[in-house]
Amino acid sequence: MSYHFNEIEAKWQKYWADNKTFKASNTSDKPKYYVLDMFPYPSGAGLHVGHPLGYIASDIYARYKRHKGFNVLHPQGYDSFGLPAEQYAIQTGQHPAVTTETNIKTYRRQLDQIGFSFDWSREVRTSNPEYYKWTQWIFIQLFESWYNNDTNQAESIDTLISKFSSEGNANINADCDDDITIFSSEEWNNFASEAHQNILLKYRLTYLAETEVNWCPALGTVLANDEIVNGVSERGGHPVMRKKMTQWSMRISAYAERLLQGLDTIDWTDSLKESQRNWIGKSVGASVTFNVKMTSEMLKQVQHDETQRHSELVSESHPHKIEVFTTRPDTIFGVSFMTLAPEHELVSKITTADQKAEVEAYITATAKRSERDRMADVKTISGAFTGAYAEHPFTKEPLPIWIGDYVLAGYGTGAVMSVPCGDQRDYDFATHFNISIPNIFEGVDISEEAYGAKDNVKIANSDFLNGMNYKKATKRAIYELEQIGQGEGKTNYRLRDAVFSRQRYWGEPFPVYYVNGMPQMIDKEHLPIRLPEVEKYLPTEEGEPPLGRATHWSWDTNINSVVSNELCHSALDAESTNDNGIYPLELNTMPGWAGSSWYFFRYMEDAANRGEAFASEDALNYWENVDLYIGGSEHATGHLLYSRFWVKFMKDRGFVNVDEPFKKLINQGMILGTSAFVYRVKLSVSSLGSYQPGDNEKQEKYIEEISSILPSIYVSENISKGKSLIEFDEFFKEKYINEYKTKEVLEKIELLKKNDSSLLGINIHASNINKLHVKVQYVNASDELDLEGLKNDGEFGEDFKDAIFIGENGEIIESDNDVYKVGREVEKMSKSKYNVVNPDAICEQYGADSLRLYEMFLGPLEQAKPWNTAGITGVHGFLKKLWKLYVDDNGLKVNDAEPTADNLKTLHKTIKKVEEDIENFSFNTSVSTFMIASNEFTAQKCTSKAILEPFLVLLSPYAPHIAEELWNRLGHDESISTATFPKFEEKYLVESSKNYPISFNGKMRFTLELPMDMSKEDIEKTVMAHEKTIAQLDGRTPKKVIIVPGKIVNIVG
RNA sequence: GCUGAAGUGGUGGAAUUGGUAGACACGUUGGACUUAAAAUCCAAUGUCCAUUAGGACGUACGGGUUCAAGUCCCGUCUUCAGUACCA
């Protein structure tokens, strides 16, 4: 009886589904364990072999934990809002909800066939209104909260309002916007409601702010950095500008310190924690204020402004100030210029008439560069002088104010004090523009480069800081700055507030409407606010987001419902004072990370009880947080940081009782694709010049005509390699062009030549070889291309139909006379590279258990690795051998034979190794261990049930279907998932002797079997007396003999 | 650029604390079985030298520490990921 994996797998998948084998319970005597995968985005391309890698690992762990007696929660769902569905909708007009539903069905079928132990009854989908209702609710809670730095947590906005009305805002220690005006309690109480709203918005944890975006005028939309290639949009190649836009932001910066501290409490890899630490980017230093020296021109402008709005009092002598943050206040006397980001608001106010043209040209040029470009490019130095000067706070010397795109507007204050002797970028800038580089380091040569180190140097040429080291000078500089009111010690974080608005359709709508431009939240009981229908998914002609196309997208506060825009107050008559209570709704939607920042809590609740809350208190208390989270490291600073932020916020407001969402986190490495390439020979027709006037034109016409009938030629990998283009052309001409396949072309030329003598000079040659991706499905394990398949491909078959293929041996392929080999290269697995391998064919051909084992066998979970199916026969062969260990032609072979010492040794060594491997997430080595064990049992002719039964339990997390089947055949009625993990016993592994490696000067020469309990002295005596030792030493006396009992012997000399 | 990883046979990888480098597989070669193929089984397989015995070299590159280095230290190179609106 042989191993019929397809039948077995279908049978057990049905059994698990019918019996709800993996349904988690919220009440149990067992300890809980929550294993979670990062949920997938259901893309149109379907699941590829990279997705299941992490899922298989977490599934092994979940199944292992069940064997170990835990109540395991192992759910799955879909991150189903996202850009690709929207792109597809724009192209095809299909509603994203429809394509998403189809994609989810495909994913589910593909996931089911791999045999995961998911509790599907708890599935979530972020695009489901019953789910995003709670995403909207959390957004409202953020809006209704402020961050109190005194209690170091978020509080209800009500506590802030009551403080305002009793004491004003002077003593409020909040994390809020910078432009706060001080008011008293009386003033607060007398402000109009609109002023109240305006002020509160500066304190809320989500607030409206002007932020810079990549605006693409041609597409009428905002682009992500990775949608921009070389400064133009990836789609269509349109220009992209930096532009300011009012958007929702999240005050994640309030949590910077707690996000940093929290890292010490969780079990994540050091590299991942380091990424987050760097992202948060805490730096301790000082903020310093520089006054701008006034010119008469500026004074006039300031006076003009003052008459326009007299509310704000400015210091008469220095209306313009530049605030900078520096980690090196000790180098304050090394400042020789200031640099502002080109977008800095002061730039337009201080630029002199002389410099105006240059500055404006520079700003325009900068607006075209992406932020990433500006950060990455340190080689080209650019900038412009504003013509204005700042004043050094101590020396009062004038410091020229420049703008330079190496300073980023969104980073810190968007301005730096430039200390060229201490910072390389400042140094390069100063050198480039001939700005002075004062040296403030004692005995340091700065003629070649800046001195960036803080240690082992004393400050010089710095007045009161002379002779001090970094630490002392920093302290003193801050003190002196405070004395003159131009600075203070400050801790800065690189972490910026997160922009939360997207100008997209396929995302959560905001539960927000606007009255006189002020945002208003919709009450919880009216949620969810569902996505409206639109006729197309593009921005409007006016550049509004796609929701601007919805005809019914206004909020009627009388009936609390979405109504037609025609009824809207502002639409009726802008001048009308007759407010009908119907207002426009927010047109932006939420970003991808909104729904994924809290989904792990939703799984905790049974689907049946999800109506009243995002999850019940009991469920939250029982499951607490995720014990093991597996996903890609590319989420290090996105999803994994935002989730931590939301969880901390929810904890502050009492909605959950954990501080961190994910206790332990493992990153799975990406599975890369092995792309396949064919080499297309580009044939060109050229002329050798003309003989008579007027020939050129004629020749061009002929060239065009001949070019159009040239065949496509593809050469095999071997032929394409290692030849220069000239050599290649020679080879090619000799072999093919003048021979047969281009015969038709040559005949045509001959014909034309007869009629026209000017054609004598026309010539065909191979001008280039292009590498083109082909679908990997047409390539076998030996890199040979299936030409028939390729030519019949539905998508690209036509391109290859009439092409000529030249094989490895240089033969034109007619049938089996030669083979075409493709070139191979490892790249990211992606649809556009045609290297996507999906698991369906593998499940079909080898089975899910083989796929699971193979994905684990590929290598360490956390490492990126290329996918290559060539090795899958190895693990499949193992499963077949394993089957034979239990079953032969007469049925079950397993009996009650007494296990031998060897049997027990193999079993227990396997238990030990597999258990250690699972605990260390080293799944690849377990697979080898199973193979070794199975080979040993086969060699031992083991049939003992006492051995083979526990061995199945060890295997079942990895290959659950075959394990269930054999377990069942051994006479069990219950699923193997209920079995207890076998217990390791040391006593079966005790060895009496050791095969010692005998090394000479560290090189192993031979081995020697010696008893384990032999003393050091006896080992030395035995080894030294050995004939091979004597031969090795060849009469020399060893200087030293090193013996590590149980390990090695090393003879030196 | 910055930040974080990785680099071992023809290929994927193993070597858990510094102690026999290449486990386990794939591939390749040879053999058995078969009319033949598939499947299965057996043997060899890091490179170079040598008939054998055996020897030399070998974990990206260049140094160092040590009786002993894939593993620790310093420097260099290459590849991959993230870099704030892809998910």
Which nucleotide has the shortest C1'-to-CA distance from A920?
A: B16
Q: How far is the CA of A1007 from the C1' of B50 (A)?
A: 23
Q: How far is the CA of A274 from the C1' of B83 (A)?
A: 14
Selected residue with higher pLDDT from A753 and A981: A981
Task: Identify nearest nucleotide to residue A928 by CA to C1′ distance.
Answer: B24
A741 is in an annotated binding site: no
Q: Which residues of A971-988 are buried (b: 16+ CB within 10 A; e: fewer)?
A: eeeebbbebebbebeeeb
| pLDDT for residue A139 | 96
H or E element, residue A218: none
DSSP string, A714-742: EE-HHHHSS--HHHHHHHHIIIIITSSTT
pLDDT value at A721 more than 60: yes
Which amino acid does the sequence have at A94? Q
Comparing A1010 with A287, the larger pLDDT belongs to A287
User: What span, in angstroms and rounded, lies between the C-alpha atoms of A51 and A266?
Assistant: 25
Distance in angstroms (rounded) separating the CA atoms of residues A506 and A525: 23
Spatial contact of A909 and A985, defined as CB atoms under 8 Å apart? no
Q: Which residue has the closest alpha carbon to B15 C1'?
A: A925
Which residue from A657, A654, A673 is spatially nearest to A619, judged by alpha carbons?
A657
Find the nucleotide nearest A636 (Cα to C1′): B82
Q: How far is Cα of residue A294 from the mean position of the Cα atoms in its chain?
A: 48
More confident residue, A523 or A235: A523
The end-to-end CA distance of chain A, in Å, is: 62
Question: Distance from residue A229 (CA) to nucleotide B85 (C1'), in Å?
Answer: 15
pLDDT at position A723:
61
User: What's the confidence (pLDDT) of residue A311?
Assistant: 42
What's the gap between Cα A933 and its chain centre?
A: 39
Q: What is the pLDDT of residues A752-782, one digit of tens each?
A: 666 666 556 666 777 777 777 888 777 766 6
Kindly report which amino acid residue has its CA closest to the C1' atom of nucleotide B55: A1005
pLDDT at residue number A604: 96
Complex-level ipTM? 0.93
**Which residue, counting CA atoms, is nearest to the C1' of nucleotide B12?**
A858
Q: Residue A155 in contact with residue A146, Cβ under 8 Å?
A: yes
Ranking A336-350, A647-661, A836-850, A1014-1028 by mean pLDDT, the lowest is A1014-1028
In the structure, how far is the CA atom of residue A782 from the C1' atom of nucleotide B86, in angstroms? 34
pLDDT in tens, A481-526: 999 999 999 888 888 888 999 999 999 999 999 988 899 999 999 9
Concatenated DSSP letters of A536-594? -SSPPTTS--GGGG-SS-EEETTTTEEE-GGG-HHHH-TT-----SEEEBP--B--HHH
Q: Residue A385 and residue A362: Cα distance in Å, rounded?
A: 10
Q: What distance in Å separates the CA atoms of residue A944 and residue A939, rounded to the nearest whole number?
A: 13
Give the CA diameter of chain A. 113
Please check whether residue A499 is in contact with residue A78, taking contact to mean a CB–CB distance below 8 angstroms. no
Work out the pLDDT band at A575, boundaries 50, 70, 90: low
User: What is the per-residue pLDDT for A953?
Assistant: 96
**Angle at alpha carbon of residue A773, lines to A767 and A779, rounded to 5°:** 115
| Residue A436: Cβ within 10 Å count | 9
The pLDDT, as a whole number, for residue A692 is 60
| Listed range (A204-213, A236-245, A772-781) with the worst mean pLDDT | A772-781
Distance of A288 CA from B57 C1′ (whole Å): 62
pLDDT in tens, A269-296: 888 888 888 889 888 889 999 999 887 7
pLDDT at A636 over 90: no
Per-residue pLDDT, averaged over A610-619, amounts to 91
* Residue range A218-223: mean pLDDT, rounded: 82
Q: From the alpha carbon of A1051, which nucleotide's C1' atom is closest? A: B67
CA A912 to C1' B82 (Å) is 37
A869: nearest nucleotide, CA–C1' criterion: B26
- Give Cβ neighbours of residue A824 (< 8 Å, ≥ 6 apart): A674, A675, A676, A677, A783
Contact A638/A593 with Cβ under 8 angstroms? yes
Q: Encoding tokens for residue A1029?
A: 């030792």
Closest nucleotide to A213 by C1' from CA? B85
pLDDT band at A314 (very low <50, low <70, confident <90, very high): very low
User: How distant is C1' of B72 from CA of A1002, in Å?
Assistant: 17
**What average pLDDT does range A682-692 have in this prediction?**
65
Pick from A674, A677, A673, A672: nearest CA to A785 = A677
Kindly state the average pLDDT of the residues A369-374. Answer: 78
Instruction: Give residues with Cβ within 8 angstroms of A12, minimum separation 6.
Output: A115, A960, A961, A964, A965
Task: Between A869 and A105, name the one with better pLDDT.
Answer: A105
Give yes or no for a contact between A764 and A685, defined as CB atoms under 8 angstroms apart. yes
Q: How far is the CA of A517 from the C1' of B73 (A)?
A: 63
| pLDDT grade for A1029, boundaries at 50, 70 and 90 | confident
- Both structure tokens of A698: 């004629």
Q: What is the mean pLDDT of residues A242-248?
A: 87
Q: β-strand A206-216 against A153-156: which pairing, if any?
A: unpaired
Residue A536 and residue A532: Cα distance in Å, rounded? Answer: 12
Query: Other CB atoms closer than 10 Å to residue A721's CB: what's the count?
Result: 12
Which residues, including other chains, have CB under 8 Å from residue A548's CB and lie 6 or more apart?
A539, A540, A542, A587
Which phi-psi region, left, alpha or beta, contains residue A40 (left: φ > 0; alpha: ψ -120 to 50)?
beta
The pLDDT assigned to A306 comes to 58
* Residue A310 in this model has a pLDDT that exceeds 50: no
Q: Which nucleotides of B are covered by protein (CB under 7 A)?
A: 1-6, 11-16, 19-21, 23-28, 40-41, 55-56, 67-69, 80-87
Identify the residue with better confidence: A392 or A695: A392
How far apart (Å, rounded) are the C-alpha atoms in residues A269 and A277? 12
Least confident of A467-481, A664-678, A719-733, A914-928: A719-733
Closest to A279 (Cα-Cα) out of A258, A262, A256? A256
The Cα-based distances of A267 to A154, A371, A665, A786 in angstroms read 25, 33, 7, 49
Measure, in angstroms, how far nucleotide B18 C1' is from residue A839 CA.
Answer: 42
Q: What is the mean pLDDT of residues A381-399?
A: 91
* Smallest CA–C1' distance to B28, residue: A782
Q: pLDDT tens for residues A109-167? A: 999 999 999 999 999 999 999 999 999 999 999 999 999 999 999 999 999 999 999 99
pLDDT recorded at residue A693: 59
Q: A409 — phi, psi (to 5°)? A: -65, -40
- pLDDT tens by residue, A937-965: 998 989 999 999 999 999 999 999 999 99
Poorest-pLDDT segment among A184-188, A308-312, A743-747, A928-932: A308-312
**Predicted local distance difference test score (pLDDT) of residue A312:** 42
What pLDDT score does A305 carry? 64
Q: Tell whether the model's pLDDT for residue A720 goes beyond 60.
A: yes
pLDDT digits (tens, 9 = 90+) for A53-89: 999 999 999 999 999 999 999 999 999 998 888 888 8
**What pLDDT is stored for residue A573 in this prediction?**
59
CA angle, residues A187, A193, A199, in degrees to nearest 5: 65
Asked if residue A698 lies in contact with residue A304, where contact means CB atoms within 8 angstroms, the answer is no
Task: Name the E strands within A412-468.
Answer: 415-418
What is the total residue count of chain A? 1053
Average pLDDT of chain A, as a whole number: 86
- Spatial separation of the C-alpha atoms in residues A681 and A951, rounded to whole Å: 57
Identity (one letter) of the amino acid at A788?
Answer: E
Q: Where are the strands (E) in A606-701, listed by range? A: 626-632, 662-668, 671-687
Most confident region among A31-35, A263-267, A468-472, A744-748 by mean pLDDT: A31-35
In 3D, which of A282, A247, A243, A249 has the Cα closest to residue A412? A282
Structure tokens at A704: 């065009």
**What phi and psi, each to the nearest 5 degrees, are found at residue A89?**
-65, -40
Which nucleotide's C1' atom has the smallest distance to the CA of A1050? B67
Spatial contact of A144 and A521, defined as CB atoms under 8 Å apart? yes
Statement: residue A313 has pLDDT above 60: no
User: Which 3 state secondary structure label does DSSP give A304?
Assistant: helix
Q: How far is the CA of A933 from the C1' of B38 (A)?
A: 28
A875, closest nucleotide (Cα–C1'): B25
Domains and CATH numbers, chain A: 31-139+592-670 (3.40.50.620), 282-493 (3.90.740.10), 526-586 (no CATH), 672-773+786-825 (no CATH), 839-988 (1.10.730.10), 993-1052 (3.10.20.590)
pLDDT interval class at A480 (50, 70, 90)? very high
Residue A201: Cβ within 10 Å count: 17
Q: For the segment A822-851, what is each residue's pLDDT rounded down to a tens digit?
A: 777 777 777 777 877 788 888 998 999 999
Per-residue pLDDT at A571: 59
